[in-house]
Structure 1
Amino acid sequence: DDILLRSATSLAAAIRNGEVKSVDLVSAYIKRIQEVQPIINAVVEERFEEALREAEAADQLVASATMSTRQLSQEKPLLGVPFTAKNSIAIKGMRQDAGSLLHRGRRAVEDAPAVARMRAAGAIPLALTNVPELCAWDDAHNLLYGTTRNPHDTRRGPGGSSGGEGSLLASAGSLIGVGTDIGGSVRTPAAYCGIFGHKPTAGVVPNTGLLPDVGANMAKYNCVGPMTRFSEDLPLLMKVLAGDSADQLRLDDEVDMKQLKVFVSDTEGSLYFSRVTAEARQAVLKVVRHFKEEVGSDVRRLHVPELQYAMVIWYKVYAAEAPECLGLSGVNVLVDFLRTLVGIGRYTLAYLVHCKTAAAFRFSHREKAEAHLASVEALRQRLEKTLGDDGVLILPAAMSTAAYHNQDLLFNDSPGMMALFSILQVPATACPVVKSAKGLPLAVQVVAKRGNDRLCLAVAKQIEQRFGGWIQP
């Protein structure tokens, strides 16, 4: 169905103009979900009947002409457009268990602010998508809903923790999605599945109404962000999600690519965890060469030695500031590991590995933790001074292509290039570039100074124009 190949931006305009019926659009995505769900297992709950009723109401509003096209564009820019969200974001009446047995049966009593803003803009919730247990891994497997598969190779994972979103979007089973990112959870699945994912400047989009509650300290790193197949939908979604804060982002300001400073990282990867593969490095070089030779941007090398310790920095901050194992003080890693091995466990192995890793980095004294956080702040100031208001940093979105299922239990390399920028609270966008020799997506990550999300999104659009954007399975 050709309607599945159009952006949310163009379809929203077509609905307002009466050229496309919301009912037809929602019906097309329902049909597509039913086709791909048996293959990828990305959806954990749907609301198809309710969505169709809301689509009919949207069509009636347009037909009534009680609001002009201009009014609809300003007040309901996503009227009649379906969207999906990960199963950690509250959608009233729907499950909100984050794939955890401990929260089985829990339902959201109200919309998360991000969802409320999507609804207020006229968007229609269609389905909830799968996550790793308590969103604490870079794949999408849990004991409630099983394993989500990557549409490019179903033997591999889609990344996480917004893995169901990444898989469904890449399969054209969703038009636009809402995810969360505290260490790469929007960007990893975007990179692995061949779509766009944006982690906004921290604090711009409200991050309440989420499960798990990571606590006030860690919440400042947790961002709600858009996931899309088309780059032009990112600014539109950011305007909706950011609400009044969107003005400070100046998303409509034009970015002159020729005046843009493009920094490229020469760091090889995350010490102790992994190194960047040759193919991932080549994807970056292709993009940088385009900006230098075809766009005429000022390209410079930037050495960020802290990238080698990205996961160490992330886990140290996490261990110092997060509640005990995401608030589950009853976790005994050894006992629960043995229970899991004999089939009576309450947690996935991935979650237990995560807890054990976090415990290994825990500071024994608060003074040491505070000193470490001070060093992170110094790094942020240095990076933002270098980038300024006209610079971006381009580096691999992930160390390699998507891993096979369970491979990351022994060697988890995906967050190494992403986690640091969550702790720094800067905006970062994952952009699909090319396919690997095995036909898997390779992506770059575009980073800017806080508040300069528009630079990331403008570069994403430029990359899409040159390299084709969404990598279809």
Structure 2
Amino acid sequence: MSTKKVSSESKKDKTQRRKSKTNRICKGVIINILKTFFTFFRLCMDYFVDFVLTLYWDGKQNAIPDLDKKHAILMESAVTLAEKIRKRELKSEDLVTACIERIKLVNPILNAVTDERYEDALKEARDVDKMIENGLSEEEFAKKPFLGVPFTAKESHAVKGMLHTLGIIARRDIRADEDAECVRLLRDAGAIPVAVTNVPEINKWQETNNMVFGRTNNPYNTGRTTGGSSGGEAALCAAIASPISLCSDIGGSTRMPGFFCGLFALNPTAGHTSLKGSALRSGLDPTMASIGFVSRHCSDLAPLTRVVAADCAPALQLDRELSIEDIKFYYMETVKDIRVSPIRTDLRKAMKKVLTKLTQRAKTTENVPKKYYHEGFNYCFNLWRHAMTKESENFAAMLTNNKGKAIGLIELGKKLFGQSEYTLAAIMKLLIDQLMPAVPADWAEQVTDDLREDLLHTLGSSAVLLAPSSATVAPPHAALYLRPFNFATWGVFNVLKFPAAQVPLGLNSEGLPLGIQVVAAPQQEALCLTVAKYLEQEFGGFVPPCKVPQQD
């Protein structure tokens, strides 16, 4: 072969490589331009939809009643209330009475409660007071850390004798035969169930609404969503009606309502809390869901999580003492999943305030927050959707109470004529599950593993990731029909099975709650809670949606 021929072929290869590189660059530029245009268009559409719906709902708003002195005790943390009962400074009966009276005042506006056991709760409270009067040892009190404190639970948790509909018509009259494990553990800890609260159908939507009980309203603005699926719990808690709010989270179901209602929330490391009796689960199958709580007080989250984690609690290191100076910070300002709405300005500003505060107090360069991103966050929804295929539940079957399977297209047709038993949200989920192509399993597993390993390496046992909670503050009712994938900013951390705390950061100019997520590596809940406690001190924590009496 001649030198001239080799040289000619070499030039040809070089030319082809240059053309290929140029084509890739041009393709990348075009894709980026299209993405930028789409993002801008979607942001404009989101603002327009919110504007129109806000005009509609503004005329239908109702403010919740102010907290009077009679019920002011409800502002205290669950831990403080338990201590006062233990020290005989407060009777359980008086506390339960205050809780019930406050629920009766706010529920007509919020539509949060689906069933109640007020008389039984009062009887149990009187029994607690008699037990304490007769004398209990410190050891007995230690076994019941929340003795005499009332609690509410989302209705998907079975509470013996109470409605357990999961928000579907096929179960509208069904009552629980026994307590879910998380309810049993709270009862064993001395807490008293008072009521169960509203959820979307089978816990699978961003707004708490169903065909059995209707829609739950946000106490900060009744024209806005509470989020889902623990929306009833968050509404009561934020309205200062429930001292303990028992939730669960498989795709943001604790943290989302916590964020939209200005509360603290903790979703602990998956696999450390039992789901037995929750949403009809056996508790035997592996899941990325966890039992959690929303609360007005960060200080309640660790003790309550310890109760529902039971024998697994030591692994979560909830008692680990940490100083904020010992924690490293990473942050991400957005996710680049095109299915998720762009992050609004007020939430970006809230994140910047936190970063500024942490930067100012940093004593070394190691403590200055550092930017983090992984391309796995470009696919939050698809990663969650694939992870859901490994869960034991079948949404289409559960909608019929496991007496067949709901078909999305059929239900959509029935909905057009007002004949479907399901909300549009449930039908949308059916259509997504049944018509959208499946997420490639090998690809999803690889991306998830890469993201998990990179975050594990980055965070270790001494760092947290500050992440946006959502694209927007609580949107108007019905707006999320046009944003069905926005929950993925929470759901991606379920997929990774990382613990995450939701932290309130005050209110925006419209009086709606702001906040961020604090994420840590598995079994590093103490990191999340240490940062949450610091931010509570710096930014004020929970801001009531109504007037409260001055503390004496």
Q: Same fold (TM over 0.5)?
A: yes
> 1:224 deviation in Å?
0.9
Paired AA for residue 347 in structure 1: Y
Rounded to whole Å, the distance in 2 between the matches of 1:215 and 1:334 is 32
2:115 corresponds to: 45
Match of 2:543 in 1: 471
Tell me what 1:112 maps to. Answer: 180
Write the distance in 1 (CA, Å) between the matches of 2:143 and 2:345. 47
Aligned to 1:314: 384
Where in structure 2 are the equivalents of 1:406-417 lying within 5 Å?
406-412=478-484, 414-417=486-489
Q: Structure 1: where are the runs of 5+ without partners? A: none
Q: Provide the secondary structure at the position in 2 that maps to 1:58.
A: helix
Q: Which residue of 2 aligns with 1:448?
A: 520
Q: Which amino acid aligns with 1:340?
A: K
In structure 2, C-alpha distance between the alignment counterparts of 1:33 and 1:225, rounded to whole Å: 21
Query: Residue 358 in 1 paired to residue 430 in 2?
Result: no
Aligned match of 1:8: 78
**Aligned residue for 2:350?**
283
The corresponding residue for 1:171 is: 239
Matched, 1:252 2:319: yes
2:416 corresponds to: 341
Q: Shift of residue 103 of structure 1?
A: 1.5
Alignment-derived partner of residue 392 in structure 1: 464
**3-state SS, counterpart of residue 458 of structure 1:** helix
Does 2:28 align with 1:28?
no
Flag structure 2 segments of 5+ consecutive residues without an equivalent: 1-70, 399-403, 546-552
Correspondence for 1:270 = 337
Corresponding letter in the other structure for 1:114: C
Given the superposition, is the C-alpha separation of residues 9 and 216 from structure 1 closer, same or farther in structure 2, using an over 3 Å criterion?
closer
Indicate if the aligned counterparts of 2:382 and 2:444 stay in contact, CA closer than 8 A.
no
Aligned equivalent of 1:197: 265
State the match for 2:305 in structure 1: 238
Report if the CA contact (8 A) 2:112-2:236 is conserved: yes
Query: One-letter code of the match for 1:311?
Result: F
Rounded to whole Å, the distance in 2 between the matches of 1:198 and 1:351 is: 26
Question: Aligned partner of 1:173: which letter?
Answer: A
Q: How far apart are the structure 1 equivalents of 2:382 and 2:447?
A: 13
Deviation at 1:331, TM superposition (A): 1.2
Change (3 A) 1:216 1:136: farther
State whether residues 431 and 463 of structure 1, in contact with CA within 8 Å, keep that contact through their aligned partners in structure 2: yes
Percent identical pairs in the alignment equals 37
Whole-angstrom CA distance in 2 between matches of 1:374 and 1:257: 34
In the TM superposition, 1:135-174 aligns within 5 A as: 135-174=203-242
What's the offset of the Cα at 1:72?
4.0
Q: TM-score if structure 1 supplies the norm length?
A: 0.95
Q: Deviations over 1:83-111 (max 9, x none)?
A: 11101001111111111012121111111
Confirm or deny: 8 A CA contact 1:113 1:207 kept in the other structure: yes
Which deviates further from its counterpart, 253-262 or 329-338?
329-338
Partner letter of residue 230 of structure 1?
H
CA–CA distance in structure 2, aligned partners of residues 215 and 24 of structure 1: 36
Say which SS state the counterpart of residue 127 (structure 1) adopts.
strand
Alignment of 1:461 onto 2:528 = no
Contact 2:199 2:231 in 1 (8 A): yes
**Aligned mates of 1:72, 1:438 — CA distance in 2:** 48
Partners of 2:78 and 2:243 within 8 A in 1: yes
Contact 1:77 1:121 in 2 (8 A): yes
Gap change, CA 1:129 and 1:316, over 3 Å in 2: same
In terms of mean alpha carbon deviation, does 132-141 or 376-385 score higher?
376-385
Q: Say if 2:189 is the partner of 1:121.
A: yes
Which of the residues 100, 103, 107 maps onto 2:168?
Answer: 100
Closer, same or farther: CA 378–215 of 1 in aligned 2, 3 Å: farther
Partner SS for 2:397: coil
TM-score normalized with structure 2 length: 0.82
Say whether the 8 Å CA contact 1:283–1:396 is kept in structure 2.
no
Query: Deviation of residue 414 (structure 1)?
Result: 3.6
Deviations 1:443-462 (A, max 9, x none): 10010000001111111111
Contact 1:399 1:416 in 2 (8 A): no
Structural RMSD (CA): 1.8
Q: Is the 8 A contact 2:262 2:513 kept in 1?
A: yes
**Structure 1: distance between partners of 2:154 and 2:80:** 24
> Cα gap change, 1:395/1:453 in structure 2, threshold over 3 Å: closer, same or farther?
same
Q: Indicate whether 1:207 and 2:272 are aligned.
A: no
- Are positions 1:84 and 2:165 aligned together? no
Q: Does 1:292 align with 2:359?
A: yes
Q: CA deviation at 1:74?
A: 1.5
Residue 118 (structure 1) shift: 0.3
Cα 1:270–1:375 shift into 2, 3 Å: closer
User: What SS does the aligned partner of 1:233 have?
Assistant: helix
Q: CA deviation at 1:411?
A: 2.0
Query: What is the Cα deviation at residue 231 of structure 1?
Result: 0.4
Mean CA deviation greater in 279-288 or 318-327: 318-327
